[in-house]
Amino acid sequence: MNHILVPIGSNENASNTLQYAIDFAKELSAEVFVFRAYKVLSKAGTLINVNDILERETNLYLKSIISNVDTKGVSVKMISAKGGTIESIHSVKSKLGVDLIVVGPRSNSIKEEVFLGSTSGSIVKQTDIPVLIVPENYKFNPFKVVLTAFKSGKLDQPGVLTPLQLIKKFFNSKINLLLVKTPNYKTEDLTVDDSLTAIQNTFNTSENVTTFQGVLEHFQSNNPDLLCVFRRKRGFFQKLWEKNTVLKSEFHCSIPLLILSGRQ
């Protein structure tokens, strides 16, 4: 894992999210790219340099966020991108390569009942990049136990487990697998990919209406400090990611949440 992208919004938790990403990157010897997109504006009257002003203000904002953290010797670079957030992230990925996105769950303007705000939700929904969602005011600590929950043990994309494999390698984390058998599951779903079994410490199955209910049932017994789930084209979590916002009543997590791209 070489490049970690940290999209920064206009909220009080931005510095904390960046600090978490830096602390995490230091353990992996990765670089951090602090990112913020700004909308392109057409010329209005005599204001012919509006976009230049927006770029300058964006860079000043990013510098102010960086000045509030301890870089700890980690390479932290700024990226101000002209355009929308998602298309800009795709552009950054194609030019620099992005191994992981670290982002907060929501901005301060979002209502309290929302778990994922529109920006974080759209990143999860519209990119295939692994995303690590860090709760507000959460401090980094090496992961001791990772609860990895899924409804199908099939993995169709090569390299999908790379972030999880690196976490196990660098932190000697215990990887607990939880296969949740939901209604109408297929027999093939019960076959767990060899790459998953290769990193597992424990394996359990559960029968629940949704994967999230399975997580809730086994959360306390596992006592994880990281929850890992997969994005798929079918299943409970994919239904969540269809929307740009996710309510806490639908899904919430009090610890860091790693979302891997297990689309099939």
The series of mean pLDDT values per 10 residues for the chain, 264 residues long, is 89 88 97 87 58 81 93 95 87 92 71 62 83 92 96 86 96 97 89 95 94 90 94 58 58 84 58
Handedness of CA 20, 21, 22, 26 (dihedral sign): positive
What is the pLDDT, as a whole number, of residue 185?
87
What is the pLDDT, as a whole number, of residue 55?
82
Residue labelled with tokens 């392109």: 40
pTM of the model: 0.87
Six-digit token string for 203: 């394996």
What is the pLDDT, as a whole number, of residue 116?
61
Residue labelled with tokens 């010329």: 43
Residue labelled with tokens 């005011």: 137
Q: What are phi and psi of 183, to 5 degrees?
A: -55, 140
Given a contact cutoff of 8 angstroms between Cβ atoms, the answer to whether 132 and 236 are in contact is no
The dihedral over CA atoms of 203, 205, 211, 216, expressed in degrees to the nearest 10, equals: -80
What beta strand segments (E) does the chain contain?
3-7, 31-38, 76-82, 100-103, 114-116, 131-133, 145-150, 174-181, 202-207, 226-231, 246-247, 257-261
What is the pLDDT, as a whole number, of residue 264?
46
**Domains along the sequence of the chain with CATH:** 3-133 (3.40.50.620), 145-261 (3.40.50.620)
What is the pLDDT, as a whole number, of residue 244?
60
Counting Cα atoms < 13 Å in the Cβ hemisphere of 156 gives 11
What is the pLDDT, as a whole number, of residue 251?
62
What is the pLDDT, as a whole number, of residue 119?
72
What is the pLDDT, as a whole number, of residue 121?
72
